Every structure is written in C-alpha cells, then in structure tokens.
Amino acid sequence: MHCSHCGTCCKKTEMMLSNADIERLERVGYERQKFVRYDRYSFARLKNHREFCVFYDIQKCRCKIYKHRPLGCRIFPVIYSEQEGIVVDDLCPMKNTVSKIELERKGQKVIDLLQKIDNEATSHRNTTPKKK
C-alpha cells in the first residue's frame, strides 16, 4: 500500500484500540484520558480533536505517533464490513494500491484484532461498576 498522507483515515476517526495499543502509548508518555474514549459498548476508541485524531498533525499531514500507532491504524485501509467481510475501505484514495496478498495478510490481522478488542470490551463491561 502506498499512503498519500491525505489524512482521510484520521478525520473523524472511530479507530478502536486494544489494551496493548493503550499501554504502548502510555509507555511513551501519553496519558490515557487524553487519547482514549469509551463508547457505550465499552470499546476503547481514539479521541478526535478539531475533527481529526488527537495524534494527527494537521499542518504536517502526519501522525505524531507513527512509530507507536495503534494496530488498527497499521492495518488500515483493510477493514471489516458487516455486509461484505474483509474489504479495502472505499474512503481511502489509495485503496487501489493494496495487493491481494496484503489484503489477505491484513485481513487476518483485522479478524484477530477485532476478536481481541471484543474480548477486552466484554471484560471491561463486566468489571466496570454500573451507573445508578
């Protein structure tokens, strides 16, 4: 895949995070509450600021944490669609540069990551006190 650094994938992101992603970013000095939000299903997601991922540098059109970015960001533009299964995201202007081999390799990573994140969210729901 060849990235054009357009920022499309970083705009209004809904990127899910695994515990490993969160811990990796904390180890390099970022505070969880600054970059993580939990949705109503207890899935950890990247926060946005001014319509972009909190880690996206709008002026430089680059990720500030590229070396430490979440696995979902590394796998993108390969995603899981409930209607189609593993696909290349139509939002990505460089989608045509993803090879069949890369689609298969990253597709398996997407499935593994989603299972891991689902298990972590289930655990989080079961250990988080209920609001009254």
2, part of any domain: no
Q: Is residue 111 a part of any domain in this protein? A: yes
pLDDT in tens, 70-93: 999 999 999 999 999 999 999 999
For range 22-48, the mean pLDDT: 95
For residue 132, is it within any domain? no
In a domain, 131, yes or no: no
Q: Is residue 71 part of a domain?
A: yes
The mean predicted confidence, pLDDT, of the chain is 92
pLDDT above 60 (res 131) = no
Q: Is residue 32 in a domain? A: yes
How many C-beta atoms surround the C-beta of residue 41 within 10 A? 10
Region 54-80: what's the mean pLDDT?
A: 95
Q: Can you give the pLDDT at residue 122?
A: 85
Query: Whole-model pTM?
Result: 0.87
Number of domains in the chain: 1
**In this model, does residue 52 exceed pLDDT 90?**
yes
Question: Residue 1: what pLDDT?
Answer: 80
pLDDT band at 3 (very low <50, low <70, confident <90, very high): confident
Angle 106-108-113 (CA atoms, 0-180°, nearest 5)? 90
pLDDT at 121: 86
Confidence of residue 22 (pLDDT cuts 50, 70, 90): very high
The yes-or-no verdict on residue 125 having pLDDT over 90 is no
Residue 1 placed within a domain: no
The DSSP secondary structure of 65-90, one letter per residue, reads TGGG--HHHHHTTEEEETTTEEEE-T
Q: Is residue 3 domain-resident?
A: no
| pLDDT the model gives residue 128 | 60
Rounded Cα distance between 22 and 35, Å, is 9
Q: Which domain holds residue 28?
A: 8-126
> What pLDDT score was predicted for residue 123?
80
